[in-house]
Amino acid sequence: MDGELFPRERTEIAPGAVHVPDWLGPRRQGELLAACREWARPPAGLRTVRTPGGGVMTARQVCLGLHWYPYGYARTAVDGDGEPVKPMPDWLAELGREAVAAAYGGPPDPRAAAYDIALVNFYDGDSRMGMHRDAEEKSPAPVVSLSLGDSCLFRFGNTDSRGRPYRDVELRSGDLFVFGGPSRSAYHGVPKVLPGTGPRALGLTGRLNITLRVGGLG
Ligand SMILES: O=C(O)CCC(=O)C(=O)O
Ligand SMILES: [Fe+2]
């Protein structure tokens, strides 16, 4: 980022949990944002997610490949308009593979299962996401997270509880975060979005997060 006094460096936040700042350049961020805008459209577009306990998620969401809902996966937007979920594009699955290689080092593993699920979360200035685990997948493959637009505080915790110990990481537009191995089932969340911090040239008000997962769901 312009004006940075010290470059932000790749950091292992916990075993198997790696933050790679500025992984996506401005052009790829723009392309990903344009794709997100298409995916957000109906049918099976952006929706508000309600939890069984009566809660409402403040981040709105659209899914690709399989439709996540609290708490499972379906082939249709069962808690939305009921339409078939949009397919997971090959290029996005490939981006997931490249992201894992970038985070952990070394070339992509040709035997690794393909990323077949994407969740796109849209956060406005007041949105947040409570501490949770990504637990509806059967595959142990790492979760890949890409951020666009406004920065946020991302809280990465432990596998036992929603509480401490955790580490807070600022995720900015273009940043990659991968969590796998011993951190695959760690609690994590977004306590805060930092409005107005995104790159102006991207043209996004708010924050988008794209998480890529391998379902292993057959
Ligand atoms: O927005 C983020 O950075 C995290 C999203 C997330 O944890 C999820 O969709 O499961
Ligand atoms: Fe998550």
190 lines ligand 1 (CB under 6 A): yes
pLDDT in tens, the chain (218 residues): 557 788 899 999 999 999 999 999 999 999 999 999 999 999 999 999 999 999 999 999 999 999 999 999 999 999 999 999 999 999 999 999 999 999 999 888 889 999 999 999 999 999 999 999 999 999 999 999 999 999 999 999 999 999 999 999 999 999 999 999 999 999 999 999 999 999 999 999 999 999 999 999 97
Supply the pTM of this predicted model. Answer: 0.97
ipTM: 0.99
User: Whose alpha carbon is nearest atom 1 of ligand 1?
Assistant: 209
Calculate how far, in angstroms, residue 139's C-alpha sits from the geometric centre of ligand 1. Answer: 18
Q: Is 61 in the pocket of ligand 1 (CB under 6 A)?
A: no
Compute the distance from residue 121 Cα to the ligand 2 centre, in Å.
Answer: 10
- Rounded to the nearest angstrom, the distance between the alpha carbon of 7 and the centre of ligand 1 is 25
145 CA from centroid of ligand 2 (Å):
9
Ligand 1 contact via 129 beta carbon (within 6 Å): yes
Give the E-state strand segments of the chain in sequence order: 11-14, 17-20, 60-64, 67-69, 72-74, 117-123, 129-132, 143-149, 151-156, 167-171, 176-179, 188-194, 207-213
Number of H helices and E strands in the chain, helices first, is 2, 13
For the chain, the domains span 26-133+148-160+175-192+208-218
pLDDT of residue 7: 87
pLDDT tens per residue, range 129-181: 999 999 999 999 999 999 999 999 999 999 999 999 999 999 999 999 999 99
CB 22 within 8 A of CB 174: yes
Q: How is domain 26-133+148-160+175-192+208-218 classified at the architecture level of CATH?
A: Sandwich (2.60)
